[in-house]
């Protein structure tokens, strides 16, 4: 029982079996963590593809990062109006988002005008509606500043 060969054999077996077990367990835990992080990112991406969720992000109480995230998501998912009915609900929601965004003091009026120009370039058929939405918002913004 006190033979050194026995202890060396036991330590060798424990090392051969134990080390790979610890490595495999660590890899499994890391992969689960990455999977959860990816699922969370996908949830946020799905939410950003809903224009009603974007309306909640552009509240004046939200942070600048959230407002910028909403603008980026709008530009990515909703900036092109092609193939939509001009009187349809989807176009109206998009125009309301543009108006709500232009009313915020998040961007200066020059940047809002550039945003308007970029939208008009992408949506020539909706030029009048976009310019009307942003123009009305800018006028309201200027009236509120004077008060």
In degrees, rounded to 5, the angle at the alpha carbon of residue 23 between the alpha carbons of residues 20 and 24 is 85
Confidence (pTM): 0.68
In this structure, the answer to whether residues 106 and 136 fall within a common structural domain is yes
Tell me how many domains the chain contains: 2
From first to last of its 147 residues, what are the pLDDT tens digits of the chain? Answer: 678 898 899 899 989 999 999 999 999 999 999 999 998 888 877 877 788 888 888 887 888 888 888 888 888 888 888 888 878 888 888 888 888 888 887 778 888 888 888 888 888 888 888 888 888 888 888 777 776
- State the residue range of the domain holding 121: 50-146
- Orientation angle between helical segments 89-103 and 64-77, nearest 10 degrees: 150
Q: Are residues 38 and 19 in the same domain?
A: yes
Q: Looking at the structure, tell me whether residues 31 and 96 fall in a common domain.
A: no
């Amino acid at each position: 029982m006190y033979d050194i060969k026995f202890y060396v054999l036991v330590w060798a077996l424990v090392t051969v079996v134990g080390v790979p077990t610890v490595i495999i367990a660590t890899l499994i835990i890391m992969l689960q963590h990455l999977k959860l992080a990816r699922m969370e990112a996908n949830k946020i991406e799905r939410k950003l593809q809903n224009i009603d969720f974007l309306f909640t992000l552009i509240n004046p109480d939200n942070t600048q990062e959230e407002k910028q995230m909403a603008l980026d998501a709008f530009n990515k998912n909703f900036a092109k109006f092609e193939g939509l009915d001009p009187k349809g609900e989807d176009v109206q929601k998009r125009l309301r988002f543009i108006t709500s965004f232009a009313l915020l003091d998040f961007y200066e009026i020059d940047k809002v005008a550039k945003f308007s120009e970029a939208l008009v370039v992408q949506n020539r058929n909706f030029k009048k509606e976009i310019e009307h939405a942003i123009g009305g918002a800018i006028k309201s913004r200027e009236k509120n500043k004077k008060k």
